Structure formats: C-alpha cells, structure tokens
Amino acid sequence: MRVPLVAGNWKMYKTVAEAVDYARRLKSSGSPAGVELAVCPPFTALLAVGRELAGSQVGLGAQDMHWAEEGAYTGEVSPLMLKELGCRYVILGHSERRQHFGESDEAVNAKVKAALRHGLVPIVCVGETLAEREAGRAREVVAGQLRGSLAGLAAQEAGNVVVAYEPVWAIGTGRTALPEDAQEMSAFIRALLAEMFGREVAGKVRIQYGGSVKPENAAGILRQPDIDGALVGGASLQVESFLAIARAAAK
Ligand code: PEP
C-alpha cells in the first residue's frame, strides 16, 4: 500500500523568519494520519525549518541540487550539503528549472542518481506544455522525460523514486487537470515504470499530481487510484490550505 505524499514547493518565497513561523505552526497543528507531509523551502531556510520540524513527522526537502558532492560550481548546492541539513527529499526537474534554467533530462538523470546514492528521495517532475498537449504529444513528452530522467537506474533504486506529474499549463495558472486526465497520465506513467523496472517496482512508486492543487479541487484528484499525493506550490504557502490538501490525500 502506497502512503500518499503531499509536498509543499515553496519556490522562491518566504524569508527565514516567515519560514520558521510557518514550520512552528505546522508542527503544532499535527499531521493527519495516513499521509506523509514534506515541505521544500528555499535553500536559505532549510536549516532553520529543519530545526523547527525536528521530532515531527513532516519531512524536509530541497527544490533542486547539483549532482556532484563538491566542486567549483558557483551558486550550486550538493547532495551532501542537503543531507547535512536533514533533508529527506529533493525536487528534481521541476518545469520551472527546465524552462528558465535549461535543465535537460540528462542533467536531471545525473541528479537523480546522485540523490539516490546519498539516500535522498528524488521527486522527479515530468509534464507537458499546453502546446504539446494540444498537439496530441502529451504522452510522448512525458514518456521521454521519464525515460531520460530515470535512465540507467537499477530496479531496486527506482522503487525509491517519487514521480510528480505536473502538466506545465496547470502550474501556477489556477487551471487544474481534470481528475480523469490526471489519472490517465498517472496510469500511463505507472505502465511505463512497469516496462522499465518491472511491475513490482511500478506498484511501489508514488506518483503525485501537481498543478494548481487547492483545498477545493484536491479531493477529486487525490481519490484517483494511481495518484498518491500532490506536489503543491501556491496553496502550500499557507499552513491551513496545505493541511486541508493533506487531509484530502489521507487514504
Ligand atoms: C509546483 O510548483 O510544483 C506547483 C504545482 O505549483 P502550483 O501548485 O502553484 O501550481
């Protein structure tokens, strides 16, 4: 049985003071049973949020990382550094990184491998643009990203990955995929994982949906059989809406 994971991607929001205040309120609210929660603050707030959440069930995640352990990579953060801060998760290949920073499937693949080597759980984002969907290429695009991002993993490693299906046209736009469309793509992703790593692994991998998930639309999406939680951007920035989504995910 897959425990749903609801992860908050804070993007480039919240100062350290704001992040600590959020973490304090989240911890004191307590997590709903039957769902795993994680927050992914900006790098600057990871240490403080991790300290605040210590002893709680809420996992800490980063929004990106480099694949190397150390080196002359100005501005980058390594898997070792994230581990030291207590991170359990790392979001990789988010569409904003692919779009604005030219991140390729090859780079995502190197990062996924590095994350697994260091005991971090990668949340690997895949998803098509509106133009790709309208051209009838959504499955082809998602399949290419998934194959590229997970290339060369052993089946046993692949079982530890979380996949986030995030149609680009739904991120931050207020436009959500219909529950049946999100389910259809998630089932397609699971079938692809079965082809790549076997049915047992595919049955273990958690597939999140992401894209304008809010308390009002969460239940319809999260009750789909192949959707195991959500990657939440905007609605994760308030404790109340994040927890409302978490409650909708609890199976
Ligand atoms: C995201 O950033 O991964 C995301 C899904 O954002 P939003 O919920 O704001 O659409």
Look at the pTM and tell me if it is higher than 0.95. Answer: yes
For residue 92, the CA-to-ligand 1 centroid distance in Å is 14
For residue 34, the CA-to-ligand 1 centroid distance in Å is 23
Determine whether the shortest distance from the Cβ of 211 to ligand 1 is under 6 A.
yes
Could you tell me the CA-to-CA distances from 93 to 35, 102, 122, 147 in Å, in that order?
24, 10, 10, 13
**Contact call for residues 243 and 29 (beta carbons, < 8 A):** yes
Count each helix (H run) and each strand (E run) in the chain, helices first: 12, 8
218 vs 198: CA distance, rounded Å: 30
Q: Which of 44, 57, 56 is nearest to 13 (CA)?
A: 44
Extents of the domains making up the chain: 5-212+221-235
What pLDDT is attached to residue 1?
A: 84
Render pLDDT for 173-210 as a digit per residue (tens, 0 to 9): 988 889 999 999 999 999 999 999 999 999 999 999 99
Q: Given pLDDT bands bounded at 50, 70 and 90, which one contains residue 251?
A: low
Regarding the domain delimited by 5-212+221-235, which CATH topology (the fold level of the hierarchy) does it fall under? TIM Barrel (3.20.20)
- Indicate the burial class of 16 (C-beta count within 10 angstroms; 0-12, 13-18, 19 or more): middle
Angle ∠(99,101,103) on CA atoms, nearest 5: 80
